[in-house]
Amino acid sequence: MSIKQPADLVRLALFVGAGLLIARLSDTLRRAETDRSQLASIVESSDDAIIGQDLNGVVTSWNGGAQQLFGYPASEAIGRSITLIIPAERRSEEDEVLRRIRAGLRVEPFETVRRREGRQ
């Protein structure tokens, strides 16, 4: 291939630039996936209960530590309300936590009580 026109040089530069951009994005995505996989492994192997929930209080993730502590397997907890593990007399705490998060405020650590499967 020979470059005979200035437009050919512009097209070649755009082609090379697009190729470099695609290669860079691919590398970034590959690194992000590796990081995500490592973090997921850390969460799943933790003995601590790590529970994800949406802003409506629905459980979105539940690790092995949560299963050990609360007695529910992930298959039973995910998709249900977090109130599954919150005693009735403590539900106002969760309402306040969700209110603060929705407002973009920090939730300071606090001591509370939760319940295991089979306990009311």
- pLDDT tens for 63-87 read 999 999 999 999 999 999 999 999 9
CB 97 within 8 A of CB 108: no
Q: Has residue 117 been placed in a domain?
A: no
pLDDT for res 115: 94
- What is the residue range of 97's domain? 47-102
Assess whether 59 and 77 both reside in one domain: yes
- The predicted model gives 48-52 an average pLDDT of 95
Assess whether 2 and 39 both reside in one domain: yes
Assess whether 22 and 11 both reside in one domain: yes
**Which string of b and e fits 64-77 if b means at least 16 CB within 10 Å?**
bbbbebbebebeeb
Q: Has residue 112 been placed in a domain?
A: no
- The predicted model gives 30-41 an average pLDDT of 92
What amino acid is encoded at 7 in this protein?
A
What average pLDDT is seen over the chain?
Answer: 92
Q: Has residue 64 been placed in a domain?
A: yes
pLDDT for res 9: 87
Q: Has residue 109 been placed in a domain?
A: no
Query: What total of structural domains would you count in the chain?
Result: 2
Non-local (6+) Cβ contacts of 108 within 8 A are none
| Residue from 30, 64, 61, 32 nearest 45 by CA | 64
pLDDT for res 1: 61
pLDDT for res 5: 84
Assess whether 32 and 53 both reside in one domain: no
| pTM (two decimals) | 0.70
Q: Has residue 89 been placed in a domain?
A: yes
Would you give the end-to-end CA distance of the chain in angstroms? 77
Q: Is 33 helix (H, G, I), strand (E, B) or coil?
A: helix
Q: Dump pLDDT digits (tens) for 86-95.
A: 999 999 999 9
Q: Has residue 115 been placed in a domain?
A: no
Assess whether 79 and 95 both reside in one domain: yes
Assess whether 37 and 67 both reside in one domain: no
Q: Is the dihedral of CA 52, 119, 70, 91 positive or negative?
A: positive
